[in-house]
């Protein structure tokens, strides 16, 4: 009889056998779609698909499933050295922070609070994971803030920002780019109500704040490459990738999709990866050019 841990983990050593519709490649023989929340290291891309975390080589190809359990897994993020993946897992009826080796292995649970803990990324030294949680504010809809938890396990610590929902620490560890509040529906196109806020870029020593030029667009998913902040904005009618240099105050549109919104984005290995039209794209910020990463994900899913 298998233990709970054995059922929960797949140390993927190769492609898994297809037994359910959820794992089939596209009908036209193309790459698998509905791949979400990509993150990237120097050599690999990780993403969420069919309630699990998968990895694939940066060039694409056959993906490996790293987790296997009847709970939702979201928000994977590579450690700065690419050796670990932190993610949020709903494995015990609650959303908590987990970490597992990038090559596969048993996930380790790091948080135990009854509130939802949503992984945002890592501190630059790779020793701790940043997550958002409303655990310390009043119910029923407490405002989230950023916390850190040691990757080896330990006590969670709140960051100084009193309110923060989504964002990343700069590679130098001196700044944070973040979105202050959540939204009722992040998928709502061209919403222009009071839940929209600009991306805030804060010096963690002086707390001086800079924001990209903003009127009322939905700006989200900030990520750093060097000293430049990249984020998603629907200010041109469709959610696209934009860049902002906090020093020069230069704002620029990077992608110019006119059909489907860019949904989620992360940075690593000096590139950006994002989700658009159900597939994952890699973007080189030096050239401003992006390409679709062909990925096939198949597995022994339940029928």
Of 110 and 115, more confident: 110
CA-based nearest residue to 144, from 159, 129, 165, 160: 165
Which tens digit of pLDDT belongs to each residue from 2-23?
443 333 333 333 333 323 334 4
Of 28 and 50, more confident: 50
Of 141 and 184, more confident: 184
Percentage above 90 pLDDT, the chain: 77
Q: Compute the average pLDDT of residues 266-295.
A: 96
Give me the chain's average pLDDT, please.
89
Buried b (16+ CB within 10 A) or exposed e, 10-19: bebeeebeee
User: Does 16 fall in a domain?
Assistant: yes
User: Does 301 fall in a domain?
Assistant: no
Give the pLDDT confidence score for residue 29 in this predicted structure: 53
CA distances from 239 to 40, 216, 264, 284 (A): 21, 13, 10, 18
Give the pLDDT confidence score for residue 142 in this predicted structure: 72
User: Does 92 fall in a domain?
Assistant: yes
Give the pLDDT confidence score for residue 299 in this predicted structure: 74
Give the pLDDT confidence score for residue 35 in this predicted structure: 97
**Cis link prior to 303 (omega < 30° from 0)?**
no
Residue 123 has pLDDT above 70, yes or no: yes
Give the pLDDT confidence score for residue 139 in this predicted structure: 59
Range from 186-190, 192-196, 202-206, 207-211 carrying the lowest mean pLDDT: 186-190
Give the pLDDT confidence score for residue 13 in this predicted structure: 33
Which tens digit of pLDDT belongs to each residue from 180-198?
988 888 888 888 888 899 9
User: Does 11 fall in a domain?
Assistant: yes
- Domain carrying residue 120: 4-296
User: Does 302 fall in a domain?
Assistant: no
DSSP secondary structure string for all residues of 4-64? HHHHHB----SPPPP-SGGGPPPTTS------EEEEE-SSEEEEEETTEEEEEETT-EE-E
User: Does 117 fall in a domain?
Assistant: yes
Q: Compute the average pLDDT of residues 39-51.
A: 97
Count: domains in the chain? 1
Q: Compute the average pLDDT of residues 220-240.
A: 97
User: Does 12 fall in a domain?
Assistant: yes
Residue 293 has pLDDT above 60, yes or no: yes
Model confidence band, residue 251 (pLDDT cutoffs 50, 70, 90): very high
Q: Compute the average pLDDT of residues 241-269.
A: 97
Give the pLDDT confidence score for residue 19 in this predicted structure: 30
Contact (Cβ atoms closer than 8 angstroms) between residue 76 and residue 106:
no
CATH of the domain at 241: 2.120.10.60
User: Does 40 fall in a domain?
Assistant: yes
């Amino acid at each position: 009889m298998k233990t709970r841990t054995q059922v929960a983990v797949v140390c993927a050593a190769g492609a898994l056998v297809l037994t359910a519709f959820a794992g089939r490649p596209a009908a036209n023989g193309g790459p698998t779609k509905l791949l979400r929340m990509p993150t990237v290291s120097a050599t690999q891309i990780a993403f969420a698909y069919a309630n699990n975390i998968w990895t694939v080589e940066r060039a694409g190809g056959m993906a490996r499933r790293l987790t296997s359990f009847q709970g939702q897994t979201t928000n994977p993020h590579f450690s700065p050295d690419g050796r670990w993946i932190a993610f949020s897992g709903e494995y015990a009826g609650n959303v908590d922070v987990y970490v597992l080796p990038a090559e596969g292995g048993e996930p380790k649970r790091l948080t135990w609070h009854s509130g939802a803990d949503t992984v945002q990324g890592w501190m630059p030294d790779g020793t701790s994971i940043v997550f958002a949680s409303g655990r310390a504010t009043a119910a029923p809809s407490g405002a989230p803030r950023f916390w850190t938890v040691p990757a080896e396990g330990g006590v969670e610590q709140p960051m100084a920002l009193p309110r923060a929902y989504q964002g990343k620490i700069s590679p130098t560890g001196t700044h944070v780019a973040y979105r202050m509040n959540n939204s009722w529906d992040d998928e709502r196109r061209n919403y222009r109500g009071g839940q929209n806020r600009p991306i805030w870029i804060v010096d963690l020593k002086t707390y001086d704040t800079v924001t990209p030029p903003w009127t009322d667009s939905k700006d989200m998913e900030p990520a750093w490459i060097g000293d430049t902040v990249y984020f998603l904005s629907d200010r041109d009618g469709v959610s696209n990738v934009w860049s902002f240099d906090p020093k020069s105050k230069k704002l620029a549109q990077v992608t110019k999709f006119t059909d489907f919104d860019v949904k989620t984005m992360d940075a690593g290995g000096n590139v950006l990866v994002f989700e658009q039209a159900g597939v994952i794209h890699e973007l080189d910020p030096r050239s401003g050019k992006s390409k679709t990463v062909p990925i096939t994900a198949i597995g022994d899913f339940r029928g």
